[in-house]
Chains A and B, each alone.
Chain A
Protein backbone atom coordinates (compact mmCIF):
# COMPACT_ATOMS: atom_id res chain seq x y z
CA UNK A 1 0.00 0.00 0.00
CA UNK A 2 1.08 3.53 -0.72
CA UNK A 3 2.23 5.42 2.34
CA UNK A 4 1.18 8.68 0.74
CA UNK A 5 -2.04 10.45 1.58
CA UNK A 6 -5.28 8.95 0.31
CA UNK A 7 -7.81 10.96 -1.66
CA UNK A 8 -10.25 12.55 0.78
CA UNK A 9 -13.97 11.77 0.94
CA UNK A 10 -16.52 14.17 -0.59
CA UNK A 11 -20.29 14.33 -0.19
CA UNK A 12 -22.27 14.81 -3.39
CA UNK A 13 -25.49 16.82 -3.67
CA UNK A 14 -27.45 16.88 -6.92
CA UNK A 15 -30.30 19.11 -8.10
CA UNK A 16 -32.32 16.82 -10.34
CA UNK A 17 -34.07 19.71 -12.11
CA UNK A 18 -34.51 23.42 -11.67
CA UNK A 19 -37.17 24.14 -9.09
CA UNK A 20 -36.00 21.32 -6.84
CA UNK A 21 -33.42 21.51 -4.06
CA UNK A 22 -30.05 19.78 -4.13
CA UNK A 23 -30.36 16.41 -2.48
CA UNK A 24 -27.66 14.21 -0.96
CA UNK A 25 -26.80 11.47 -3.49
CA UNK A 26 -23.83 9.76 -1.88
CA UNK A 27 -20.12 10.21 -1.55
CA UNK A 28 -16.88 9.57 -3.39
CA UNK A 29 -13.14 10.03 -3.16
CA UNK A 30 -11.26 12.67 -5.14
CA UNK A 31 -7.98 14.57 -4.86
CA UNK A 32 -9.61 18.00 -5.10
CA UNK A 33 -12.94 19.75 -5.63
CA UNK A 34 -12.64 19.85 -9.40
CA UNK A 35 -12.02 16.13 -9.61
CA UNK A 36 -14.82 15.52 -7.13
CA UNK A 37 -17.22 17.33 -9.47
CA UNK A 38 -16.04 15.36 -12.48
CA UNK A 39 -16.25 12.06 -10.65
CA UNK A 40 -19.68 12.95 -9.29
CA UNK A 41 -20.84 13.57 -12.85
CA UNK A 42 -19.69 10.07 -13.86
CA UNK A 43 -20.77 8.21 -10.73
CA UNK A 44 -24.12 9.83 -9.94
CA UNK A 45 -25.50 11.39 -13.14
CA UNK A 46 -24.95 8.88 -15.95
CA UNK A 47 -28.63 9.05 -16.90
CA UNK A 48 -29.50 12.74 -16.71
CA UNK A 49 -30.20 12.58 -12.99
CA UNK A 50 -29.08 16.16 -12.49
CA UNK A 51 -28.65 19.72 -13.73
CA UNK A 52 -26.39 20.92 -10.92
CA UNK A 53 -23.91 19.29 -8.56
CA UNK A 54 -22.48 20.43 -5.25
CA UNK A 55 -19.54 18.69 -3.64
CA UNK A 56 -18.24 19.34 -0.16
CA UNK A 57 -15.42 17.60 1.62
CA UNK A 58 -17.02 15.31 4.20
CA UNK A 59 -14.83 16.60 7.02
CA UNK A 60 -16.47 20.03 6.73
CA UNK A 61 -19.91 18.68 7.62
CA UNK A 62 -20.96 18.97 11.25
CA UNK A 63 -23.69 16.47 12.04
CA UNK A 64 -26.01 16.30 15.04
CA UNK A 65 -25.64 13.24 17.21
CA UNK A 66 -28.71 10.95 17.20
CA UNK A 67 -28.06 10.22 20.87
CA UNK A 68 -28.96 13.84 21.60
CA UNK A 69 -32.16 13.70 19.57
CA UNK A 70 -34.18 13.99 22.76
CA UNK A 71 -32.89 17.38 23.88
CA UNK A 72 -32.64 18.57 20.29
CA UNK A 73 -36.03 17.68 18.88
CA UNK A 74 -38.38 16.82 21.74
CA UNK A 75 -39.00 20.46 22.76
CA UNK A 76 -40.93 20.89 19.51
CA UNK A 77 -43.25 18.00 20.32
CA UNK A 78 -45.43 19.71 22.95
CA UNK A 79 -45.83 22.94 20.99
CA UNK A 80 -49.13 22.01 19.45
CA UNK A 81 -50.02 25.70 19.16
CA UNK A 82 -47.60 25.86 16.23
CA UNK A 83 -50.06 23.89 14.16
CA UNK A 84 -53.24 25.24 12.56
CA UNK A 85 -55.39 22.45 13.99
CA UNK A 86 -54.79 23.83 17.52
CA UNK A 87 -57.17 26.73 16.87
CA UNK A 88 -60.92 26.22 17.17
CA UNK A 89 -62.94 28.05 14.56
CA UNK A 90 -66.60 27.62 13.63
CA UNK A 91 -67.27 25.54 10.51
CA UNK A 92 -68.83 28.56 8.78
CA UNK A 93 -65.40 30.13 8.43
CA UNK A 94 -64.17 28.91 5.07
CA UNK A 95 -60.72 29.02 3.49
CA UNK A 96 -58.70 29.51 6.64
Chain B
Protein backbone atom coordinates (compact mmCIF):
# COMPACT_ATOMS: atom_id res chain seq x y z
CA UNK B 1 0.00 0.00 0.00
CA UNK B 2 1.20 3.50 -0.73
CA UNK B 3 1.36 6.09 2.00
CA UNK B 4 -1.68 7.77 0.49
CA UNK B 5 -3.64 4.55 0.63
CA UNK B 6 -2.68 3.92 4.25
CA UNK B 7 -3.78 7.43 5.14
CA UNK B 8 -7.13 7.07 3.46
CA UNK B 9 -7.75 3.66 5.08
CA UNK B 10 -6.98 5.17 8.48
CA UNK B 11 -9.34 8.05 7.84
CA UNK B 12 -12.03 5.57 6.88
CA UNK B 13 -11.45 3.50 10.00
CA UNK B 14 -11.77 6.61 12.17
CA UNK B 15 -14.96 7.56 10.38
CA UNK B 16 -16.51 4.19 11.03
CA UNK B 17 -15.35 4.27 14.67
CA UNK B 18 -16.99 7.66 14.98
CA UNK B 19 -20.21 6.39 13.48
CA UNK B 20 -20.28 3.48 15.92
CA UNK B 21 -19.55 5.87 18.74
CA UNK B 22 -22.39 8.22 17.85
CA UNK B 23 -24.71 5.25 17.45
CA UNK B 24 -23.86 4.03 20.95
CA UNK B 25 -24.78 7.42 22.42
CA UNK B 26 -27.97 7.53 20.36
CA UNK B 27 -28.88 4.12 21.88
CA UNK B 28 -28.41 5.72 25.32
CA UNK B 29 -25.27 3.72 26.06
CA UNK B 30 -22.77 5.41 28.36
CA UNK B 31 -19.21 6.20 27.35
CA UNK B 32 -16.61 5.25 29.95
CA UNK B 33 -13.10 6.76 30.26
CA UNK B 34 -11.14 3.93 28.63
CA UNK B 35 -13.51 3.61 25.67
CA UNK B 36 -12.45 4.94 22.31
CA UNK B 37 -13.79 8.46 21.78
CA UNK B 38 -13.35 11.16 19.14
CA UNK B 39 -10.75 13.72 20.18
CA UNK B 40 -13.40 16.43 19.98
CA UNK B 41 -15.59 14.56 22.46
CA UNK B 42 -12.67 14.32 24.87
CA UNK B 43 -11.74 18.01 24.54
CA UNK B 44 -15.32 19.26 24.78
CA UNK B 45 -15.86 17.21 27.94
CA UNK B 46 -12.61 18.34 29.52
CA UNK B 47 -13.64 21.92 28.85
CA UNK B 48 -17.21 21.61 30.10
CA UNK B 49 -16.54 19.43 33.16
CA UNK B 50 -13.58 21.54 34.27
CA UNK B 51 -15.52 24.78 33.81
CA UNK B 52 -18.24 23.25 35.90
CA UNK B 53 -15.74 22.19 38.59
CA UNK B 54 -14.11 25.64 38.62
CA UNK B 55 -17.56 27.22 39.08
CA UNK B 56 -18.23 25.09 42.15
CA UNK B 57 -14.86 26.05 43.64
CA UNK B 58 -15.01 29.78 42.88
CA UNK B 59 -18.69 29.69 43.89
CA UNK B 60 -17.62 29.11 47.48
CA UNK B 61 -16.06 32.59 47.68
CA UNK B 62 -19.12 34.88 47.55
CA UNK B 63 -20.83 32.82 50.25
CA UNK B 64 -17.70 32.19 52.29
CA UNK B 65 -17.76 35.96 52.71
CA UNK B 66 -20.75 35.66 55.09
CA UNK B 67 -20.02 32.54 57.14
CA UNK B 68 -18.48 34.40 60.06
CA UNK B 69 -21.24 37.02 59.98
CA UNK B 70 -24.28 34.73 59.73
CA UNK B 71 -27.04 36.12 61.96
CA UNK B 72 -27.60 32.93 63.99
CA UNK B 73 -26.01 29.57 64.67
CA UNK B 74 -28.74 27.86 62.63
CA UNK B 75 -27.91 30.00 59.61
CA UNK B 76 -24.20 29.56 60.17
CA UNK B 77 -24.18 25.75 60.24
CA UNK B 78 -26.45 25.67 57.18
CA UNK B 79 -24.27 28.07 55.19
CA UNK B 80 -21.12 26.26 56.24
CA UNK B 81 -22.61 22.92 55.16
CA UNK B 82 -23.69 24.41 51.83
CA UNK B 83 -20.28 25.86 51.10
CA UNK B 84 -18.69 22.54 52.06
CA UNK B 85 -21.04 20.80 49.61
CA UNK B 86 -19.87 23.13 46.85
CA UNK B 87 -16.27 22.12 47.59
CA UNK B 88 -17.43 18.50 47.33
CA UNK B 89 -19.12 19.21 43.98
CA UNK B 90 -15.91 20.72 42.69
CA UNK B 91 -13.98 17.63 43.79
CA UNK B 92 -16.42 15.11 42.25
CA UNK B 93 -16.18 17.02 39.00
CA UNK B 94 -12.41 17.41 38.99
CA UNK B 95 -12.00 13.68 39.47
CA UNK B 96 -14.53 12.95 36.69
CA UNK B 97 -12.52 15.29 34.46
CA UNK B 98 -9.21 13.63 35.33
CA UNK B 99 -10.48 10.31 33.94
CA UNK B 100 -10.17 11.96 30.52
CA UNK B 101 -6.40 12.15 30.91
CA UNK B 102 -5.79 15.64 32.26
CA UNK B 103 -4.11 16.13 35.65
CA UNK B 104 -5.52 18.07 38.59
CA UNK B 105 -2.51 20.34 38.41
CA UNK B 106 -3.17 21.24 34.79
CA UNK B 107 -6.79 21.97 35.64
CA UNK B 108 -5.83 24.30 38.49
CA UNK B 109 -3.22 25.94 36.29
CA UNK B 110 -5.90 26.67 33.67
CA UNK B 111 -8.14 28.24 36.30
CA UNK B 112 -5.41 30.27 37.95
CA UNK B 113 -3.94 31.58 34.72
CA UNK B 114 -7.37 32.73 33.54
CA UNK B 115 -7.32 30.35 30.58
CA UNK B 116 -10.34 28.46 31.90
CA UNK B 117 -13.67 30.10 32.57
CA UNK B 118 -16.10 29.66 35.43
CA UNK B 119 -19.70 30.77 35.78
CA UNK B 120 -19.92 34.58 35.56
CA UNK B 121 -22.48 34.77 38.34
CA UNK B 122 -19.70 34.47 40.91
CA UNK B 123 -18.15 37.71 39.74
CA UNK B 124 -20.85 39.73 41.50
CA UNK B 125 -20.33 40.92 45.09
CA UNK B 126 -22.29 39.70 48.13
CA UNK B 127 -22.95 42.94 49.96
CA UNK B 128 -25.70 42.04 52.46
CA UNK B 129 -26.89 38.96 54.33
CA UNK B 130 -29.93 38.88 52.03
CA UNK B 131 -27.55 37.93 49.22
CA UNK B 132 -27.14 34.52 50.90
CA UNK B 133 -30.88 34.09 50.53
CA UNK B 134 -30.96 35.31 46.93
CA UNK B 135 -28.01 33.12 45.91
CA UNK B 136 -29.49 29.94 47.38
CA UNK B 137 -32.90 30.65 45.92
CA UNK B 138 -31.93 31.98 42.47
CA UNK B 139 -28.36 30.88 41.72
CA UNK B 140 -28.69 27.36 43.08
CA UNK B 141 -32.19 27.28 41.58
CA UNK B 142 -30.81 28.10 38.13
CA UNK B 143 -27.93 25.66 38.65
CA UNK B 144 -30.40 22.84 39.40
CA UNK B 145 -32.27 23.51 36.16
CA UNK B 146 -28.98 23.41 34.26
CA UNK B 147 -27.73 20.30 36.07
CA UNK B 148 -30.69 17.92 36.26
CA UNK B 149 -30.55 17.04 32.54
CA UNK B 150 -26.83 16.26 32.94
CA UNK B 151 -27.63 13.32 35.23
CA UNK B 152 -28.33 11.37 32.03
CA UNK B 153 -25.51 12.78 29.92
CA UNK B 154 -23.46 10.34 27.81
CA UNK B 155 -20.13 10.40 29.66
CA UNK B 156 -20.45 7.99 32.62
CA UNK B 157 -18.24 9.72 35.22
CA UNK B 158 -19.88 13.10 34.53
CA UNK B 159 -23.39 11.65 34.78
CA UNK B 160 -22.57 9.88 38.06
CA UNK B 161 -21.05 13.03 39.55
CA UNK B 162 -24.14 15.00 38.56
CA UNK B 163 -26.47 12.53 40.27
CA UNK B 164 -24.63 13.15 43.54
CA UNK B 165 -24.56 16.91 42.97
CA UNK B 166 -28.26 17.16 42.18
CA UNK B 167 -29.19 15.20 45.31
CA UNK B 168 -27.37 17.78 47.40
CA UNK B 169 -28.57 20.92 45.63
CA UNK B 170 -32.15 20.96 46.80
CA UNK B 171 -31.13 21.73 50.38
CA UNK B 172 -29.11 24.66 49.02
CA UNK B 173 -32.09 26.20 47.32
CA UNK B 174 -34.43 25.59 50.25
CA UNK B 175 -32.09 27.15 52.79
CA UNK B 176 -31.79 30.22 50.55
CA UNK B 177 -35.52 30.56 50.11
CA UNK B 178 -36.01 30.20 53.86
CA UNK B 179 -33.62 33.12 54.44
CA UNK B 180 -35.66 35.23 51.98
CA UNK B 181 -38.92 34.17 53.63
CA UNK B 182 -37.67 35.16 57.07
CA UNK B 183 -36.50 38.57 55.84
CA UNK B 184 -39.76 39.18 53.98
CA UNK B 185 -41.78 38.43 57.11
CA UNK B 186 -39.54 40.65 59.23
CA UNK B 187 -39.20 44.40 59.67
CA UNK B 188 -39.71 46.71 56.63
CA UNK B 189 -35.94 47.22 56.51
CA UNK B 190 -35.42 43.47 56.29
CA UNK B 191 -37.94 43.12 53.50
CA UNK B 192 -36.23 45.98 51.71
CA UNK B 193 -32.95 44.11 52.00
CA UNK B 194 -34.54 41.04 50.41
CA UNK B 195 -35.99 43.14 47.57
CA UNK B 196 -32.62 44.79 47.01
CA UNK B 197 -30.91 41.40 46.78
CA UNK B 198 -33.51 40.16 44.28
CA UNK B 199 -32.99 43.34 42.25
CA UNK B 200 -29.27 42.71 42.00
CA UNK B 201 -29.33 38.93 41.45
CA UNK B 202 -32.30 38.53 39.09
CA UNK B 203 -30.69 39.50 35.80
CA UNK B 204 -27.31 37.82 36.42
CA UNK B 205 -29.27 34.65 37.30
CA UNK B 206 -31.06 34.76 33.95
CA UNK B 207 -27.66 35.09 32.27
CA UNK B 208 -26.57 31.81 33.88
CA UNK B 209 -28.35 29.94 31.10
CA UNK B 210 -25.96 31.41 28.56
CA UNK B 211 -26.48 33.38 25.35
CA UNK B 212 -29.77 33.18 23.44
CA UNK B 213 -30.24 30.23 21.09
CA UNK B 214 -29.59 32.47 18.10
CA UNK B 215 -26.14 33.36 19.50
CA UNK B 216 -25.23 30.00 21.01
CA UNK B 217 -22.60 28.14 18.99
CA UNK B 218 -22.35 24.46 19.84
CA UNK B 219 -25.92 23.54 20.71
CA UNK B 220 -26.39 20.85 18.05
CA UNK B 221 -23.25 18.91 18.95
CA UNK B 222 -24.05 19.23 22.66
CA UNK B 223 -27.56 17.88 22.06
CA UNK B 224 -26.13 14.85 20.26
CA UNK B 225 -23.75 14.08 23.10
CA UNK B 226 -26.48 14.76 25.68
CA UNK B 227 -24.53 17.58 27.24
CA UNK B 228 -27.72 19.48 26.57
CA UNK B 229 -31.32 18.32 26.45
CA UNK B 230 -32.99 21.69 26.12
CA UNK B 231 -31.75 24.96 24.65
CA UNK B 232 -30.55 27.92 26.72
CA UNK B 233 -33.74 29.84 26.02
CA UNK B 234 -35.97 26.91 26.98
CA UNK B 235 -34.15 26.46 30.29
CA UNK B 236 -34.27 30.20 30.98
CA UNK B 237 -38.02 30.24 30.36
CA UNK B 238 -38.46 27.25 32.68
CA UNK B 239 -36.55 29.10 35.41
CA UNK B 240 -38.62 32.26 35.03
CA UNK B 241 -41.92 30.37 35.02
CA UNK B 242 -41.06 28.50 38.19
CA UNK B 243 -39.49 31.45 40.03
CA UNK B 244 -42.09 34.20 39.51
CA UNK B 245 -44.75 32.47 41.66
CA UNK B 246 -42.08 31.94 44.37
CA UNK B 247 -41.39 35.70 44.36
CA UNK B 248 -45.14 36.28 44.70
CA UNK B 249 -45.21 34.13 47.85
CA UNK B 250 -42.41 36.28 49.27
CA UNK B 251 -44.29 39.43 48.30
CA UNK B 252 -41.30 40.63 46.28
CA UNK B 253 -41.31 42.29 42.87
CA UNK B 254 -39.24 40.89 40.02
CA UNK B 255 -37.21 43.85 38.70
CA UNK B 256 -38.54 43.60 35.14
CA UNK B 257 -41.28 46.01 34.03
CA UNK B 258 -41.89 43.87 30.92
CA UNK B 259 -42.58 40.68 32.87
CA UNK B 260 -46.13 39.60 32.00
CA UNK B 261 -48.08 36.32 31.98
CA UNK B 262 -48.79 35.24 28.43
CA UNK B 263 -52.04 33.30 28.46
CA UNK B 264 -51.50 31.93 24.97
CA UNK B 265 -47.99 30.59 25.61
CA UNK B 266 -48.82 29.66 29.21
CA UNK B 267 -45.49 31.29 30.10
CA UNK B 268 -44.13 34.61 31.22
CA UNK B 269 -42.94 37.15 28.67
CA UNK B 270 -39.92 39.03 29.93
CA UNK B 271 -37.72 42.01 29.12
CA UNK B 272 -34.49 42.29 27.20
CA UNK B 273 -31.38 40.90 28.92
CA UNK B 274 -28.35 43.20 28.95
CA UNK B 275 -25.99 41.00 26.94
CA UNK B 276 -23.31 43.69 26.88
CA UNK B 277 -23.05 43.31 30.64
CA UNK B 278 -22.89 39.54 30.26
CA UNK B 279 -19.99 39.67 27.80
CA UNK B 280 -18.18 42.29 29.86
CA UNK B 281 -18.25 39.98 32.89
CA UNK B 282 -17.29 36.92 30.81
CA UNK B 283 -14.31 38.85 29.46
CA UNK B 284 -13.11 39.59 32.97
CA UNK B 285 -14.53 43.05 33.60
CA UNK B 286 -17.18 42.11 36.16
CA UNK B 287 -17.17 43.77 39.57
CA UNK B 288 -15.38 40.87 41.30
CA UNK B 289 -13.38 38.97 38.64
CA UNK B 290 -10.02 40.17 39.92
CA UNK B 291 -10.89 39.75 43.61
CA UNK B 292 -12.14 36.18 43.06
CA UNK B 293 -8.99 35.08 41.26
CA UNK B 294 -6.79 36.82 43.78
CA UNK B 295 -8.52 35.01 46.65
CA UNK B 296 -8.37 31.64 44.86
CA UNK B 297 -4.75 31.88 43.73
CA UNK B 298 -3.72 33.30 47.11
CA UNK B 299 -5.30 30.37 48.96
CA UNK B 300 -3.56 27.93 46.63
CA UNK B 301 -0.17 29.56 47.05
CA UNK B 302 -0.43 29.97 50.80
CA UNK B 303 -1.31 26.29 51.06
CA UNK B 304 1.70 25.12 49.08
CA UNK B 305 3.96 24.51 52.09
CA UNK B 306 1.21 22.41 53.70
CA UNK B 307 0.85 20.24 50.62
CA UNK B 308 4.61 19.84 50.32
CA UNK B 309 5.00 19.03 54.02
CA UNK B 310 2.24 16.40 53.86
CA UNK B 311 3.93 14.77 50.88
CA UNK B 312 7.35 14.82 52.55
CA UNK B 313 5.85 13.30 55.70
CA UNK B 314 4.13 10.57 53.70
CA UNK B 315 7.37 9.70 51.91
CA UNK B 316 9.29 9.57 55.17
CA UNK B 317 6.70 7.26 56.72
CA UNK B 318 6.84 5.04 53.66
CA UNK B 319 10.64 4.82 53.80
CA UNK B 320 10.55 3.96 57.50
CA UNK B 321 8.02 1.21 56.84
CA UNK B 322 10.17 -0.25 54.09
CA UNK B 323 13.27 -0.20 56.31
CA UNK B 324 11.45 -1.91 59.17
CA UNK B 325 10.20 -4.58 56.78
CA UNK B 326 13.77 -5.53 55.80
Task: Report A's interface with B, CB cutoff 8 A.
Answer: 1-2, 4-7, 9, 26-29, 31-32, 35, 42-43, 46-47, 63, 65-67
Give chain A residues whose Cβ lies under 8 Å from the Cβ of B84: 42, 46
Cross-chain pairs A/B with CB under 8 angstroms, 25 sampled: A1-B109, A4-B307, A4-B311, A5-B311, A7-B311, A9-B95, A9-B104, A26-B92, A26-B96, A26-B160, A27-B98, A29-B104, A31-B314, A32-B310, A32-B313, A32-B314, A32-B318, A42-B84, A46-B81, A46-B85, A46-B88, A47-B168, A63-B34, A65-B34, A66-B32
Given A28-B91, A42-B84: 17 more A-B contacts, CB < 8 Å = A2-B307, A2-B308, A4-B311, A5-B315, A6-B104, A6-B311, A7-B310, A26-B96, A27-B98, A31-B313, A32-B313, A32-B314, A32-B317, A43-B91, A43-B92, A46-B88, A63-B34
- Where chain A touches its partner, the secondary structure class is loop
In angstroms, Cα B308 to Cα A5, docked, is: 8
Give chain A residues whose Cβ lies under 8 Å from the Cβ of B248: none
In angstroms, Cα B311 to Cα A9, docked, is: 13
Tell me the minimal C-beta distance from B203 to chain A in angstroms.
33
Q: Are A7 and B307 in contact (CB under 8 A)?
A: yes
Does residue B36 face the partner (Cβ distance < 8 Å to A)?
yes
In angstroms, Cα B310 to Cα A67, docked, is: 39
Partner of A28, one of B95, B161, B310, B311: B95
Contact with A along B289-326 (1 / 0, CB 8 A): 00000000000000010011011011101100000000
Does residue B3 face the partner (Cβ distance < 8 Å to A)?
no
In angstroms, Cα B8 to Cα A2, docked, is: 45
Within 8 A of A (CB), among B26-55: 32, 34-36
Does residue B272 face the partner (Cβ distance < 8 Å to A)?
no
In angstroms, Cα B213 to Cα A71, docked, is: 46
In angstroms, Cα B125 to Cα A67, docked, is: 50
Does residue B215 face the partner (Cβ distance < 8 Å to A)?
no
In angstroms, Cα B314 to Cα A29, docked, is: 13
Does residue B105 face the partner (Cβ distance < 8 Å to A)?
yes
Give the nearest-CB partner of B310 in chain A: A31
Q: Are A9 and B91 in contact (CB under 8 A)?
A: no
The tally of CB-CB contacts under 8 A between chains A and B is 59
- Where chain B touches its partner, the secondary structure class is helix
Tell me the minimal C-beta distance from A63 to chain B in angstroms.
6
Give the nearest-CB partner of A11 in chain B: B95
Partner of B311, one of A27, A31, A42: A31
Q: Are B105 and A6 in contact (CB under 8 A)?
A: yes
In angstroms, Cα B85 to Cα A2, docked, is: 27
Give chain B residues whose Cβ lies under 8 Å from the Cβ of A35: 310, 314
Contact with A along B155-193 (1 / 0, CB 8 A): 000001100000010000000000000000000000000
Q: Are B308 and A67 in contact (CB under 8 A)?
A: no
Q: Are A26 and B161 in contact (CB under 8 A)?
A: yes
Give chain B residues whose Cβ lies under 8 Å from the Cβ of A66: 32, 34-36
Tell me the minimal C-beta distance from A8 to chain B in angstroms.
9
Tell me the minimal C-beta distance from B298 to chain A in angstroms.
15
Tell me the minimal C-beta distance from B158 to chain A in angstroms.
12
Tell me the minimal C-beta distance from A70 to chain B in angstroms.
13
Give chain B residues whose Cβ lies under 8 Å from the Cβ of A26: 92, 95-96, 160-161
Q: Are B98 and A9 in contact (CB under 8 A)?
A: yes
Give chain B residues whose Cβ lies under 8 Å from the Cβ of A32: 310, 313-314, 317-318
Q: Are B85 and A27 in contact (CB under 8 A)?
A: no
Tell me the minimal C-beta distance from A66 to chain B in angstroms.
5
Tell me the minimal C-beta distance from B38 to chain A in angstroms.
15
Give chain A residues whose Cβ lies under 8 Å from the Cβ of B34: 63, 65-66
